[in-house]
Amino acid sequence: MKTALITGITGQDGSYLAELLLSKKYQVVGMVSKIYNIGWGNIKQIREKLILKDGDLLDENSLKKIFAVHKPDEVYNLGGITFIPTAWEKPQLTFDVNALGTLRILEILKNKYPKVRFYQASSAKMFGNPQVFPQNENTPIEPLDPYSISKACAHFLVGAYRKNFSLFTVSGIMYNHESIRRGPEFVTRKITRGAVKIKLGLAKKLRLGNLQAAQDWGWAPDYVKAMWLMLQQENPGDFVIATGKLHTVEDVCRIAFSSLDLDYKDFVISDKIFARFEEGTKPYGDSGKAKKLLNWYPSVSFKQMIELMVETDWKVLQKGETK
């Protein structure tokens, strides 16, 4: 039985990855920070099957203890600060968690566990405002904000430790991926919940930023499968994981509201106060390498994804629950 360690196990990706690994008969160890844990809701259905350990990417000793006790075969570093506005509010913390936290793990691997396979959650935000479309593994990395700068630093560290110490370290350059477990602070979930609230009479309007802002959005369970596939390869390498298709915030609104027999134009207000000042080009990814070497393909369409999110929010909000 293989043992996998997941940082950020209570997040969207961590919880889906834990489910996937359990289905493949792994022993799954999840690191949970007492200070920055986002909650237990995402893993409540599998919590009894997990080994949950207190630890923090800021605390090297807690990391060393988990490694010493559980000796993982694979490590998936999904923990970190992922919301860009938060990164601007706390840039120093963001860098310490996202970049130096990764470095702490890499040092442990180099010094004591060189055979462990390591996955790093990199982000397409590292490309900044790219001039090449679509972007692939060779696209220049030019980050523009504290979040993407911290992720770029971690990404380069992973490559450096792979090259200089022959560690099996990989980075998944992930484009936006959503699900029914996406946090309410993210725009897709803000829209699906907002649409349901309006349908239920709990709200009258939904205020958003730039409706023409566009992203390459995929389905989170598909993306965690790619993470696992990367660590099963004979040789380590980095992979772009994306759908290769652009959709706007307006597209999300159209699908979400129409699935409830509503016209988004009657309820959605575009307000400049919610627009992000770093919005520029509209990046989308080329996952050709992943398709060729990992045999990875998205299984859920953009429309299906938004409809699934609306369906879940309907069930939750209709019962008067919050999430």
Sign of CA dihedral 162, 167, 168, 170: negative
> What is the per-residue pLDDT across 202-255, written as a single tens digit (0 to 9) for each?
999 999 999 999 999 999 999 999 999 999 999 999 999 999 999 999 999 999
Low-confidence winner among 124-133, 145-154, 265-274 (lowest mean pLDDT): 265-274
Nearest to 116 by CA among 50, 58, 165, 181: 165
- Percent above pLDDT 70 for the chain: 96
Alpha carbons 318 and 314: distance in angstroms, whole number = 6
pLDDT bin (cut points 50, 70, 90) of residue 322 is low
Pairing of strands 3-7, 206-208: unpaired
The torsion angle over the Cα atoms of residues 90, 5, 20 and 229, rounded to 10 degrees, is 90
pLDDT bin (cut points 50, 70, 90) of residue 320 is confident
HSE-up of 135 (CA within 13 Å, CB side)? Answer: 28
CB atoms within 10 A of CB 113: 17
Query: For tokens 């999300």, what's the residue?
Result: 252
CA-based radius of gyration for the chain? 19
Q: What is the pLDDT of residue 178?
A: 97
Domains and CATH numbers, the chain: 3-177+217-241 (3.40.50.720), 183-216+245-279+300-318 (3.90.25.10)
> What is the per-residue pLDDT across 160-196, written as a single tens digit (0 to 9) for each?
999 999 999 999 999 999 999 998 889 999 999 999 9
Q: What is the pLDDT of residue 39?
A: 75
Q: What is the pLDDT of residue 37?
A: 67
pLDDT bin (cut points 50, 70, 90) of residue 279 is low
